[in-house]
Amino acid sequence: MKRSLLFLALGALTAAVPAGAQTIESGNYFYDLSEYTPAQNGGALPPWTTSGWSVTGADFYAGAYSAESFGNVAVEQAVAPVDVNDITSITVWAKQPEGVAFAAVDFLYDDATFDEFLIAPGVDWTFVDMTSQLRGSGNLVGIRFYGYSGGGPGEDLTRIDDASIEANVGVPVGVSTWGRVKQLYR
C-alpha cells in the first residue's frame, strides 16, 4: 500500500565566518553571501513543534494557509518509524521572498542522529524534492525545517507548504497532515 503523509509547510556543518562578511545562517550552516549563488495562533502548529513558526493565510502554495518563520528557527514533526527503503518521495513547496537565502532541513533517524542539508527556495513558490538526501539504510522518524537569519535588507522570511513523505508500507506510517492543521484555522 502506498501511503502519503502530507505536512504543511516541513551531520551538522559549522564553518568559520569571515569578519565583516554579509552572512546568513540556517540550521547549523553559515554562508558568506558574496560567495553564494544560487504569528498567528501563538506559533501553535500541532502536531508540529516549534518556538517560532506560525500559520499564515497571507501567502500559500495550495489551500488557504502555509507555515512561516522569521529568522533561523525550526519546525519539526515526528512520524512513525519508516524504513528509508520504503520511502518513495520527500518533497516540499518553499519560498523565501527576500531571494538571497537558503533553508536547512534535517532528516531525523531512529538511532537518535540526523542528517542536515540545504535547500534553496526561490522568491516564488519552489518545488523541492529532498528524496536523494535520505540515507541508504535506517528508519526515518522525523523531519525538521529551518528558516534563516541575516542576508539582506528585508525580513528573514521563509514559508513552507504541502510537505510530503510518501512510502510503500503495509501499515500506514501515521496520519499527520497539514490539511488537518489547516482545518483548525478555517
**What pTM does this model have?**
0.74
Given phi > 0 = left and psi -120 to 50 = alpha, else beta, which region is 80? beta
pLDDT block averages, 10 residues each, the chain of length 186: 39 32 56 43 67 86 87 92 94 88 94 96 94 97 93 86 85 43 42
Query: Residue 22: how many CA atoms within 13 Å on its side-chain side?
Result: 9
Which residues on adjacent β-strands are paired with residue 82? 140
- Model pLDDT, residue 29: 59
Classify 2-183 by CATH class.
mainly beta
What is the predicted pLDDT for the residue at 170? 61
Q: Kindly list the distances between the CA atom of residue 70 and the CA atoms of 97, 178, 180, in Å, as whole numbers in the listed order.
A: 11, 20, 24
Q: Quick one: cell of 110?
A: 531512529
What is the Cα 33 distance to its own chain's centre? 21
Q: What's the pLDDT score for residue 65?
A: 82
